[in-house]
Structure formats: structure tokens, C-alpha cells
Structure 1
Amino acid sequence: MQNKILVSACLMGHAVRYDGRAKPLLHPVIETWRAEGRLVTICPEMSAGMKVPRPPAEIANAAFGEEVLAGTARVVELTGADVTEEFLQAAENAVALARQAGCRYALLIDGSPSCGSGFIYDGTFSGRKQAGNGVTAAALKAAGVEVFSDHEIERLIERIAQ
């Protein structure tokens, strides 16, 4: 059985990002993995019923996904709307899909308050980045899934080869 990889839908070319766009990851190994049936695609936010496009969201007060999971931080939209419950549902859906499909790894778009694993934004909507995990990335890591950002695909390739 080959190692399965949960992948952010936007990286696979699906126009599911908050702004209605995709952010395709163009790398030869993606097509190889697709042909081998290794890829399991999800947009966590859409799986939780969030629409496209939608207002941008960030984890408030420079907090992290782990804190959202613990109930001590919130996810808010630029409009001020609290979307914490949607992001928690999104994370739960991603973990459930990863378990169901047997995904040992996840390849997620960085910067997202859901999928970010190298960096997320600081909650001020000013474009300031901070190292940390989004809600889905934190939940997947807690569930034992190894998470890699789109900038770490070479590391993922090496890890799978081990």
C-alpha cells in the first residue's frame, strides 16, 4: 500500500480559496502521485460549508491553530464575523478524511488560517506573517499526520522515499 497524501484542493488547481482562486502547485511529482492514486484532495473550509468567495479570515490576536483547537482563540473574518466553529468543523472533516483514506502525510497551502503550517497571518489583516499552524494543520499534526507546506514538497518527497 502506497503512502497516501491529503492535499489542499487549491494546490490541485481547484478555485476554492477565499478569493475564488486556485494556487496550483506545479511540480512533476504531483502528476506521478496523482497517477499512482496517492492524492486525497480537500478544501477544509468548503467541506465545512463555507462559500467561495468569502471574506478573508485570520486567527485573532496573533494566536495559533492549537489555541483555536483548545478553545482559547478565535478565527475571525475581515468583516468581524466569528468563523471559529466553521474552522473547527473544517479541521475535524480533514482529520476524518485523512483517517478514512489512510493518509500518513498532508501537503497544505501555507499562510492559510486553516492549512498554514510554516506560517500564518497574525490576525491584524495587515499582511504580517508569523511562524505557526492553522487550525486544520494543527489538528492533523495532533492526529499523527505529518504535515508539509507547499514550500516543503522536496522534504515530503524525501520523507516518502525513506
Structure 2
Amino acid sequence: MIGISACLIGQAVRYDGGHKQQAALKRLIDRGEAIAICPEVLGGLSVPREPSELIKGDGMSVWSGQNEVQTQLGTDVTQAFKQGAQEALHILQQYNIDTVILKDGSPSCGSAKIYNGQFNGTQIQGVGVTTALLQQHGIRVYNEYNWQTIYE
């Protein structure tokens, strides 16, 4: 059993009310081989919601208290992101899941890239808030571009 970002299996949970469904990942859910999670929704954020980005670093620096997550209009949503990450971790631990496939680029789920905090579409290397927490707890995080390596 693995965990998958809900947006990657077709659930309309993204900030813009959309999804990024990938048929192969949806099939894993349909076959009962995976469960879907959305840390941002688990943290109490609405759908749709204002875009958010990590401001001064990545998810690791959020957990060390050196960074925050803000909406495009400057609202601090760090606590919602942290709460959602903790809820996602709790769910994964309940199912003894040690591997997830999360949406890259997301301020929660990014595992290779995140946006630079300037809301200009520029991506930088880094991890999201949820990815950072999951990795700290020994959970392997893949994204929609490299998940096939799980099965090699």
C-alpha cells in the first residue's frame, strides 16, 4: 500500500479547484493498492483557495521555524500547512505506509521543486512542508515524474 496526492488521482483539491490526474496512478487507487491524501485540505484549507508559496526557503526551514507559507496576498497559512502535514503523516502511519507519490511543485508535496516564493512562476530546488515531515519520519517520497522507480 502506498499514498498518493489526491490531485494526481483526479480529485479536484488543488488551489484552483482542479486536479492533475494521471491514469496510471488512479488505477493504483482503483485496485486498492493506494490511498489518496491532500495535506492542504487536511489542514483545513478550502477548495478553491488562494495560491500559496514558501517564502524564504523550503519545507525543512518551515519545521525549524525559519520559514513560512504565505498566500499571494500575504496571509500566513503556515499553521494550516503544518497541520495538514501532521494529519497526512498520521493517516500514513495508521496504514503502515512508508512510500508516497506526491505532486511536485506543490508547497506541501513538492519533492524536487517548489516555487520560489515570489509568485512569478519560477521553480527552485526544494521540498514542500509535507514532504519534509514525511522524510523526517522515514517515508520515501516520489513524485509524478519518478514514481515508476518504486517498481524497478
Q: TM-score, normalised by structure 2?
A: 0.96
Distance 1:35 1:74 in 2: 36
Post-superposition offset of 1:30: 4.6
Residue 53 (structure 2) pairs with residue 58 (structure 1):
yes
More helix by share: 1
Q: Give secondary structure in 2 for the equivalent of 1:80.
A: coil
Match of 2:38 in 1: 43
**Could you tell me which amino acid in structure 1 is paired with residue 76 of structure 2?**
D
Alignment of 1:1-162 (within 5 A): 4-27=1-24, 30-31=26-27, 33-61=28-56, 63-158=57-152
Work out whether residues 8 and 26 of structure 2, in 8 Å CA contact, stay in contact via their aligned partners in 1. Answer: no
**Farther off after superposition, 36-45 or 4-13:** 36-45
Work out whether residues 40 and 101 of structure 1, in 8 Å CA contact, stay in contact via their aligned partners in 2. Answer: no
Equivalences, count: 152
Alignment gaps of 5+ in structure 1? none
Distance 2:150 2:124 in 1: 22
1:93-137 Cα deviation digits (max 9, x unpaired): 111111001111010000000000010001000111111100001
- Seen in structure 2, the aligned counterparts of structure 1 residues 30 and 155 have a Cα distance that, compared at 3 Å, is farther
Work out whether residues 77 and 83 of structure 1, in 8 Å CA contact, stay in contact via their aligned partners in 2. Answer: yes
**Could you tell me which amino acid in structure 1 is paired with residue 91 of structure 2?**
L
Post-superposition offset of 1:91: 0.7
Distance 2:103 2:29 in 1: 17
Q: Give secondary structure in 2 for the equivalent of 1:151.
A: coil
Post-superposition offset of 1:157: 2.2
Work out whether residues 14 and 47 of structure 2, in 8 Å CA contact, stay in contact via their aligned partners in 1. Answer: yes
Distance 2:123 2:6 in 1: 22
RMSD across aligned positions (CA): 1.2
Detail structure 1 runs of 4+ shifted over 6 Å in the superposition.
Answer: none
Post-superposition offset of 1:40: 1.3
Q: TM-score, normalised by structure 1?
A: 0.90
**Could you tell me which amino acid in structure 1 is paired with residue 69 of structure 2?**
V
Alignment gaps of 5+ in structure 2? none
